[in-house]
């Protein structure tokens, strides 16, 4: 099959490898190079780097609004367009180009968590399960019928980064299964998404990263997990702004004001929440690196007094 692949971040790289394994990927579409790093130099996307290593032609349009951009895609005569975290909404005129339509690998069990950040929102909501759907694309946002899906359990302390990597691998597996069926002349049967249970995974915003100690400890612990490695939760603790890499909720009753440091020891920093206590286990000071609470307290001996 002649496949055009569209994707941008690390999540899409395993799927690109799966698509290229037993098919002809004639072109890779990815977002234009963006400024990144301290020098803010233009940096290619992970998908672009993978494509160039494989000798696949790379195309980076800003969008598909022009007829020229759509004609360039059509010139590849794709049997299938595979889209994985591309970052652009594709108009119907683009979806109509490939002979077999357009497939999308989405990191949730649709219709739950349509949208930009399904991995982090699933953890933040304390979901026990998530998964990957291979979806037939249509004009709506992640509304198309599901062709194949696989579920997996979310670990009780799993971070956004860890779940991202597992789902990226699972997405590649589901895509490979779908492509194998199509090569064999078996088209997966599209299953319309249920009308009930629709939720939207809105894009992550750095402004969300600040913890509100008046909220329940479990909610904050889930946010710490979900936002690791980006945008990373942060909070004021004992008069200092800290970024939190790891924390757990303790079902402890207390009468302290939210944000009060209740205890500080090798096991962590215990902070009063609106309900329960958040134990901070791994943290990062401004300009520093991630360290354990025990190492942090070596430089903050004052916190061991009177706590």
User: DSSP readout, 215-239?
Assistant: SBHHHHHHHHHHTTTTT-EEEEETT
Which of helix, strand or coil describes residue 161? helix
The beta strand positions in the chain, using DSSP E, are 2-7, 24-29, 34-36, 41-43, 58-59, 80-84, 102-106, 114-115, 129-136, 146-153, 200-201, 233-237, 240-250, 261-265, 268-272, 277-285, 290-292
Per-residue tokens: 209: 């990263």
Beta bridge partners of 243: 234, 284
CA dist 269 and 297 (Å) reads 9
The one-character DSSP state at 100 is T
Annotated binding site: 108-111
Annotated binding site for (6S)-5,6,7,8-tetrahydrofolate: 108-111
Contact of 291 with 283, CB cutoff 8 Å: yes
């Amino acid at each position: 099959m002649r496949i055009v692949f569209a994707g941008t971040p690390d999540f899409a790289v395993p799927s690109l490898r799966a698509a290229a394994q037993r098919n002809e990927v004639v072109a890779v579409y990815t977002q234009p190079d963006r400024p990144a790093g301290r020098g803010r130099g233009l940096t290619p996307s992970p998908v672009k780097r993978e494509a160039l290593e494989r000798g696949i032609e790379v195309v980076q349009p800003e969008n598909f609004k022009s007829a020229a951009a759509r004609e360039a895609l059509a010139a590849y005569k794709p049997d299938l367009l595979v889209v994985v975290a591309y970052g652009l909404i594709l108009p119907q005129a683009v979806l109509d180009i490939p002979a077999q339509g357009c497939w999308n690998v989405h990191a949730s069990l649709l219709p739950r968590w349509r949208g930009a950040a399904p991995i982090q929102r699933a953890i933040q909501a304390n979901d026990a399960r998530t998964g990957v759907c291979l979806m037939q694309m249509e004009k709506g946002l992640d509304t198309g019928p599901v062709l194949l899906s696989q579920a997996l359990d979310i670990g009780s302390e799993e971070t956004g980064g860890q779940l991202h990597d597992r789902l990226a691998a699972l997405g590649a597996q589901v895509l490979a299964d779908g492509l194998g069926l199509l090569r064999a002349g078996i088209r997966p049967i599209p299953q319309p998404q249920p009308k009930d249970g629709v939720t939207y995974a809105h894009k992550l915003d750095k402004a969300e990263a600040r913890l509100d100690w008046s909220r329940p400890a479990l909610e904050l612990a889930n946010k710490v997990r979900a936002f690791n490695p980006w945008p990373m939760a942060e909070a004021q603790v004992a008069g200092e702004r800290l970024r939190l890499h790891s924390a757990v909720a303790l079902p402890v009753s207390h009468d302290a004001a939210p944000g009060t440091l209740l205890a500080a020891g090798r096991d962590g920093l215990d902070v009063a929440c609106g309900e329960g206590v958040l134990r901070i286990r791994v943290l990062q000071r401004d300009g520093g690196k991630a360290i354990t609470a025990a190492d942090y307290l070596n430089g903050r001996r004052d916190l061991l007094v009177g706590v």
